[in-house]
């Protein structure tokens, strides 16, 4: 009888150890349809055989080598968490809104810096074009005199690059950076760093930098490919609408703002968990284009025969995300989607006039610094 009990207990303990060795990488789940997905540890459901009761004879010491499991350990296993979970994650009460003060300050500061840097970038671009105008004319004249090289790889790359629209050239760097981060997810030695800094989670010790880094992070190839295809498709429209510098400021700010909205909703509902993906920023791009051009015709890539207006598409997407947020759907980060879309609608409606058209003081300060003070610097003085 004692041997049977020992065998059952040994099997039970082995089953517990097996469960405890589950790692977060085994529980990763990604999204489809180009949405920002939420990385959750899914609970594992199953039936566990109850341990047999032992009958202890009178005078016999009840020692069958069975140790009761810690109640907290059992609760963690029922929730599907691993004992080897990311150490950067801490469990906090779901009403700890005080932890969101730092992300709020970071969001405001990062957004201001993005638009300030974009204004300076535009100033330097215009200044460089004026100064290099004659150099470009001379270079074009020399190219006509030189014999043309056939099969030159560099020339072919330049021809491909020149055939791209300004919007496509602008988002090429974003796509390349997303591809690089995707490759980093495949390096086992970087997995801990990626989980800490390239996923956004209000329960993590790292709160601020993941807000922007997770915007360039995708674990699933299909997730990344779908998001980048949507960005590529809308790049020409959004860049022709805002310009490359203003677009980059909006895109970077949208990544942080959508993540902050995700933080707020997760903290309010207590559904804490890591998220990653560029869908929040892409929703800003999509919402901005659809708001400015609501009558534009759109189509699904696999069903080009079915067309619909951009305004109707935006309404459907916003409705689905709102329903998902209210009903608590956890496959997509619906709060990040809504935050990005609302920011895009607000910016093209009011934000452009309030922010971008009032960038002159920043440009003037930068101009004075470049020319070493007002009225100085010789030919560089005066207004530009």
In whole angstroms, what is the distance from residue 164 CA to residue 231 CA? 14
Q: Are 195 and 260 spatial neighbours (Cβ–Cβ below 8 Å)?
A: no
In whole angstroms, what is the distance from residue 140 CA to residue 51 CA? 85
If phi over 0 gives left and psi between -120 and 50 gives alpha, with beta otherwise, what is residue 9? Answer: alpha
User: Torsions phi, psi of 225, nearest 5?
Assistant: -65, -40
Q: Which two tokens stand for residue 208?
A: 């601020």
Q: Are 223 and 34 spatial neighbours (Cβ–Cβ below 8 Å)?
A: yes
In whole angstroms, what is the distance from residue 330 CA to residue 328 CA? 6
Identify any residues that bridge with 38 across adjacent strands, giving them in sequence order: 275
Q: What single-letter DSSP state applies at residue 192? A: H
Q: Are 179 and 156 spatial neighbours (Cβ–Cβ below 8 Å)?
A: no
* Residue 279 bears catalytic tag: yes
Residues comprising the chain, all counted: 384
Catalytic member of 218, 223, 334, 337: 337
Pairing status of strand 297-300 against strand 275-276: unpaired
Catalytic member of 31, 279, 334, 367: 279
Our CA angle for 198, 173, 134, nearest 5°, is 150
* Residue 218 bears catalytic tag: no
Active site residues: 279, 337
């Amino acid at each position: 009888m004692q041997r049977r009990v020992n065998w059952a207990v040994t099997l039970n303990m082995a089953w517990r150890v097996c469960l405890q060795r589950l790692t977060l990488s085994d529980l990763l789940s990604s999204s489809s349809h180009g949405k920002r997905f939420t990385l959750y540890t899914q609970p594992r459901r199953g039936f566990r055989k109850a341990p047999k009761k032992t009958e202890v004879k009178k005078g016999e010491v009840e020692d069958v080598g069975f140790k009761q499991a810690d109640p907290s350990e059992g609760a963690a296993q029922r929730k599907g968490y691993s004992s080897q979970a990311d150490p950067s994650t801490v469990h906090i009460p779901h009403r700890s809104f005080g932890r969101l003060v730092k992300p709020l300050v970071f969001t405001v500061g990062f957004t201001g810096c993005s638009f300030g840097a974009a204004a300076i970038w535009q100033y330097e671009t215009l200044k460089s074009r004026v100064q290099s105008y004659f150099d470009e004319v001379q270079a074009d004249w020399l190219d006509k005199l030189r014999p043309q090289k056939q099969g030159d790889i560099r020339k072919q790359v330049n021809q491909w690059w020149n055939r791209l629209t300004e919007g496509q050239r602008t988002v090429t760097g974003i796509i390349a950076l997303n591809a690089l981060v995707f490759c980093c997810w495949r390096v086992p030695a970087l997995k801990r760093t990626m989980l800490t800094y390239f996923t956004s989670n209000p329960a993590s010790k790292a709160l601020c930098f993941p807000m922007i880094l997770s915007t360039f992070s995708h674990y699933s190839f299909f997730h990344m490919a779908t998001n980048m295809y949507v960005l590529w498709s809308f790049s020409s429209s959004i860049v022709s609408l805002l310009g490359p510098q203003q677009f980059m400021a909006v895109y970077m700010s949208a990544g942080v703002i959508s993540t902050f909205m995700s933080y707020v909703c997760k903290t309010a509902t207590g559904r804490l968990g890591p998220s990653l993906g560029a869908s929040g920023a892409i929703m800003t791009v999509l919402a901005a284009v659809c708001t400015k051009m609501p009558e534009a015709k759109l189509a699904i890539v696999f069903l080009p025969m079915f067309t619909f207006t951009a305004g109707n598409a935006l309404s459907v997407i916003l409705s689905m995300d709102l329903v998902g947020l209210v009903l608590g759907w956890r496959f997509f980060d619906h709060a990040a989607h809504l935050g990005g879309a609302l920011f895009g609608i607000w910016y093209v409606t009011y934000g452009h006039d309030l922010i971008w058209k009032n960038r002159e003081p920043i440009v003037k300060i930068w101009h004075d610094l470049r020319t070493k003070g007002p009225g100085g610097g010789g030919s560089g003085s005066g207004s530009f």
